[in-house]
Amino acid sequence: MPKRAAKASERIESEETPAVEEAASAAASGSGTRPARRATAETMASRQREISVSEFFTKNRHLLGFDNPAKALLTTVKEAVDNSLDACEEAGILPDLIVEVKEVGNPTNASGASRFRVSIEDNGPGIVKPQIAKIFAKLLYGSKFHRLKQSRGQQGIGISAAGLYGQLTTGRPVVIISKIGKGRPAHRIELRIDTKRNHPDVLKDEIVEWDKEHGTRVEIELVAAYRGGRTGVEAYLEQTVVANPHLGLTYHPPKGEVLSFPRVANELPREAEEIKPHPHGVELGMLLRMLHDSPGKSVKQVLIDDFSRISPALADQVCELAKVKPKTSAASIVGDDVDRLHKALGEVKVKAPSASCVVPIGEELLIEGLKRRFKADFYVSTTRPPSVYRGNPFVVEVGLAYGGELPTDDPADVMRFANRVPLQYQPKACAISEAIYDTNWRSYELQQPRGALPLGPLAVVVHLASVWVPFTSEAKEAVAHYDELLREMKLAVQECGRKLGAHLRARERAVSEQKRLHLFQRYIPEVAEAIGAILSKPKDAVQQSFYSALPNFVRIVQEQPEKPDGEGSPAPSEPPPPASGSEPPPAPPKAAAAAKKGSASAKKAPPPPPAKAPPTKKAPPPPPKKGAPLPKKRTKPELRTQV
Ligand SMILES: Nc1ncnc2c1ncn2[C@@H]1O[C@H](COP(=O)(O)OP(=O)(O)OP(=O)(O)O)[C@@H](O)[C@H]1O
């Protein structure tokens, strides 16, 4: 052993030996400075046991969106509304929902949290009785997790988690009423979750009168806080109707008037097709599981049966590339063969996934939805073609509303949607926000502080429709940053941004054109008089020639409002009053000089025509600042809302 290494090992030995002895003697005597060894593998093993998913989420309810009373209320409403919409659409029923949030207790603490009863009633297909208990009182139980089909719910945890939160904070059971058809009984069931077993306890089960033909009503009592603003229940419902034009909704808030949102589309969205995984982007572990879960099948058969877009010829090609015999038993495939198959699947040319498995809102309905929420001057939307991330097909669509009653000085109002569900929390963690922040809105004539949202009367809607939305957590608040998703989102935002920019530039041109005409109109009487004098023609005739040569100008004059004193609107031939504004346009040098000196020529100059209407109404609009909101009034018909 080299000298230095030998010395080091001596030092370690000399340091360790007494410590081990000390610990041993301390353990023997039950005292000493070093802690005694308290647990053995055996004692630890006696404490190791399975953790029920309900117990896990009881401790970690923040992971499911129940981390504070206000958010808990929103999440509860959201989970139930999303389920109702999914169920109605799946059953081909136009959804009619009644949402009620009622305060049933006094504020319990300084933060203003109180006891609320939330009820959500739908006209969906209802739930068969034996399933009710498991759906509402067993976490991770649902119909959507194991399939690749676009829906709002995915995980099979949402509504039972809301019930669990209610039970934890109030001790009250979840109450369900469900009826599956005309002439069938309506069941009313009270449920509690046995968290140790993640199992439902039915407290009450009765048949009740219910005037609905079919549907489900869920009632949950919980400690919550009612908040307004962007993250409140009302904002969620308002955004939900934007993305679901076929939804009819009535909302009873705890205070104030009942809100009604009648549907604006009488057709259901097309039903999303259930698909198999696309071979591009499938992960190795998933491929291995698919092969091993298919006993009795050959590799080729699994490729054809369990993936979308793989024909027998393509399956042969994959096997050839991977140097695996097509007839090899799928369940026996291991090691390098799986690696090569996985690689080959990524290399072969496969058709893009079928567009029928994702159902975007559609460009027209997205605009209808925006109109339902905002009174704007200009709307534009785009739906991108389908794309794939990790084998999952998706479509991104974007809608913009600009001008009108949208606030002019605020940052843009951004609405994020995933499978038609509004996302209200965690904007900074969401790929959708990143796509908007990363867009250069200045090139679309809007102001944008560095790294921030664009400013101006703008609302932006981004919708991601996918057979599986990659959320950053089980609370389903933000979309994960997959490159393929980000790229499509940016392209869609840019597409709409370019159209908005073109619209704003056209408006800007129209405004400066109008300003130029107004400037010209101011001098027409003087010029007409001078030309009339030179040509020995009456001033009025010359003036009229000017107006006829400028149809736009004449139209502006004709649009003058009537005078309140009943004098009527000015005739097109009448000289318009001088424009007034903060900076009056300079008078022609000659007339100005004459006026100043009070000379004879100045006296000959015609006096400014009398004002026929309040001057402010005729003033040319000031030139718009770049990015500043433009005036609402338009003069060119072709510049009306581009929808
Ligand atoms: N109102 C309803 N009408 C009909 N079926 C319903 C209704 N609510 C829930 N379900 C059924 O109960 C299942 C479980 O719902 P839950 O909210 O727990 O999970 P999910 O919607 O599947 O997924 P996620 O956890 O992502 O919300 C659903 O998959 C659906 O089959």
To test the pocket of ligand 1, the residue of 135, 141, 147, 217 to mutate (highest count of ligand atoms within 8 Å of its CB) is 135
Complex prediction ipTM:
0.98
Residue nearest to atom 4 of ligand 1 (CA): 87
Q: pLDDT band at 2, cuts 50/70/90?
A: very low
Q: How much distance in Å is there from the Cα of 136 to the middle of ligand 1? A: 8
Question: What residue type is assigned to position 369 of the chain?
Answer: G
Q: Which residues contact 313 (CB under 8 A, 6 or more apart)?
A: none
Averaged pLDDT for residues 398-411: 95
Helices (H), 350-461: 363-373, 431-437
Sign of CA dihedral 406, 412, 418, 419: positive
Q: How far apart are CA 253 and CA 413, in angstroms?
A: 23
Most distant CA pair in the chain, distance:
130
pLDDT at 474: 86
Q: Is 65 annotated as a binding residue?
A: no
Q: pLDDT band at 390, cuts 50/70/90?
A: confident
Digit-coded pLDDT (tens) for 309-358: 999 999 999 999 999 999 999 999 988 999 999 999 999 998 877 778 89
- Whole-Å CA distances, 126 to 78, 137, 173: 18, 17, 20
Q: Which residues contact 311 (CB under 8 A, 6 or more apart)?
A: 304
Q: How much distance in Å is there from the Cα of 83 to the middle of ligand 1? A: 5
Q: How much distance in Å is there from the Cα of 117 to the middle of ligand 1? A: 20
- Whole-Å CA distances, 114 to 49, 71, 170, 235, 458: 37, 13, 10, 20, 36
Q: Is 83 annotated as a binding residue?
A: yes
Q: Is 154 annotated as a binding residue?
A: yes
Digit-coded pLDDT (tens) for 123-138: 999 999 999 999 999 9
- Strand runs (DSSP E) across 253-362, as ranges? 259-261
Q: Minimal CA–CA distance to 74: which of 249, 234, 238, 260?
A: 234
Q: Which residues contact 442 (CB under 8 A, 6 or more apart)?
A: 448, 627
User: What is the residue-averaged pLDDT of the chain?
Assistant: 82
pLDDT at 109: 63
**In a 3-state reduction of DSSP, which class is residue 43?**
helix
Q: Is 122 annotated as a binding residue?
A: yes
Helices (H), 99-257: 129-137, 158-170, 233-243
Digit-coded pLDDT (tens) for 73-107: 999 999 999 999 999 999 999 999 999 999 998 77
Q: How much distance in Å is there from the Cα of 289 to the middle of ligand 1? A: 26
Residue nearest to atom 22 of ligand 1 (CA): 156
Averaged pLDDT for residues 518-540: 87
Q: How many CB atoms lie within 10 A of CB 49?
A: 7
Q: How much distance in Å is there from the Cα of 142 to the middle of ligand 1? A: 6
User: Which comes out higher in pLDDT, residue 635 or 421?
Assistant: 421
pLDDT at 12: 40
pLDDT at 29: 52
Nearest atom of ligand 1 to the alpha carbon of 161 = 18
Residue nearest to atom 13 of ligand 1 (CA): 142
Averaged pLDDT for residues 483-488: 96
- Which tokens is 258 given? 């009942």
Q: How much distance in Å is there from the Cα of 120 to the middle of ligand 1? A: 13
Q: Is 346 annotated as a binding residue?
A: no
Question: What residue type is assigned to position 533 of the chain?
Answer: A
pLDDT at 252: 98
To test the pocket of ligand 1, the residue of 86, 88, 147, 175 to mutate (highest count of ligand atoms within 8 Å of its CB) is 86
Q: How much distance in Å is there from the Cα of 82 to the middle of ligand 1? A: 8
Contact 292, 331 (CB under 8 A): yes
Contact 435, 486 (CB under 8 A): yes
Q: pLDDT band at 451, cuts 50/70/90?
A: confident
Contact 149, 274 (CB under 8 A): yes
Pocket of ligand 1, beta carbon within 6 A? 79, 83-84, 87, 122, 124, 127, 135, 142-144, 153-160, 216
Q: Is 126 annotated as a binding residue?
A: no
Nearest atom of ligand 1 to the alpha carbon of 143 = 29
**In a 3-state reduction of DSSP, which class is residue 416?**
strand
Q: How much distance in Å is there from the Cα of 135 to the middle of ligand 1? A: 7
Residue 450's region, left for phi above 0, alpha for psi from -120 to 50, else beta, is beta
Q: Is 144 annotated as a binding residue?
A: yes
pLDDT at 110: 66
- Whole-Å CA distances, 24 to 35, 39, 44, 402: 10, 14, 20, 77
Digit-coded pLDDT (tens) for 192-239: 999 999 999 999 999 999 999 999 999 999 999 999 998 999 999 999
Nearest atom of ligand 1 to the alpha carbon of 216 = 1
Q: Is 211 annotated as a binding residue?
A: no
According to DSSP, the residues that pair with 192 across neighbouring strands are 201
Q: Which helix (H) or strand (E) holds 290?
A: helix 284-292
CA-based R_g, the chain, Å: 36
User: Which comes out higher in pLDDT, residue 590 or 362?
Assistant: 362
- Which tokens is 602 given? 């100045």
Q: How far apart are CA 388 and CA 309, in angstroms?
A: 13
- Which letter, b or e, does each residue of 171-189 get, where b requires 16 or more Cβ atoms within 10 Å of its Cβ? ebbbbbbbbbeeeeebbbb
